[in-house]
Amino acid sequence: VFSLLFFKCILVCFCGFFLEMSHAGKKRKLDKSRQDRLYFDSYTDVTIHEEMIADHVRTGTYRTAILGNSEAIRGKVVLDVGAGTGVLSMFCVQAGARKVYAVEACSIAEQAVKIIRQNNMQDKIEVIRGTVETVELPETVDVIVSEWMGYALLHESMLNSVLYARDKWLNPGGLILPNKAELYIAPMSDPVVEERLYFWYNVKDQYGVDMSSMYDFAEKCIRNSDIVVNPVTTAKHGSLTLLGKKSKHCGGSCCSHYKQKDHDKQKDNVE
């Protein structure tokens, strides 16, 4: 009887464990789905697109880069990952692209269709609604363009989508724009922090009690609580291909160098 009860107890525990793991897995999927929905919803409003298009340094640099690499784009098939209003797709047509597939997951894709028609480029640009991980293209591509960079380069984690598109759709020897980034980090100081630390040296003048020994302790507390840095997982070694034999350098910077895959032989980089 004891053995039977013990077996039942173990069975119940295992069932409970697997049910809990199953619920946890479903919750992670729901959380990821919710995050994706919130992310794409943030691009349905006109404000963010107005800010990006009005940013002349950003938009002008992309246009310069694409037109500056027209020899590598002319007559080729292009994939625009996260096309938004379609501005990069239209730059590619200006550079001579034969066909552009503009993939956009949020409803701004409807406006992209209107803009493309307004510029008489509907015969060369096809807007495809969906994520690059779920859509199907009728052919492979020679060039991938995308503004995958977010704040501090890696925010929004869109790089994975570009790498997915590269592995699934990019022809051997194809071009990715941009395919290299340099991230510059500069140290800074805040006078408010120093004032808070030296406060302990001033206590004696106010109250006649020396509390300057608190300086070291206060420094540790301030450094740990006020300067918050979360770890960032970057792309794995060799995950972003460097291609573009006839590419030209354009301004703009962010320094993480992504090394070539072993099977990629071209070594000229595009920035």
pLDDT at site 185: 81
Instruction: Tell me the pLDDT tens digit for each residue of 81-113.
Output: 999 999 999 999 999 999 999 999 998 899 999
Cβ-contact 212, 200 below 8 angstroms? yes
Biggest alpha carbon–alpha carbon distance for the chain: 82
Chain Cα centroid distance, residue 219: 34
Catalytic residue among 20, 50, 156, 195: 156
Catalytic residue among 139, 147, 194, 195: 147
* Active-site annotation holds for 147: yes
* Active-site annotation holds for 156: yes
- Overall pTM > 0.85: no
Assigned CATH for 40-271: 3.40.50.150
Cβ-contact 84, 52 below 8 angstroms? yes
Task: Give the span between the Cα atoms of 83 and 103, in whole angstroms.
Answer: 6
Dihedral of alpha carbons 8, 9, 12, 14, sign: negative
Name 222's Cβ contacts closer than 8 Å, sequence gap at least 6: 193, 196, 197
Sheet strands (E) in the chain: 77-81, 99-104, 125-129, 141-146, 170-177
Neighbours of 16 (CB within 10 A): 10
Instruction: Tell me the pLDDT tens digit for each residue of 120-168.
Output: 999 999 999 999 999 999 999 999 999 888 777 877 668 889 999 999 9
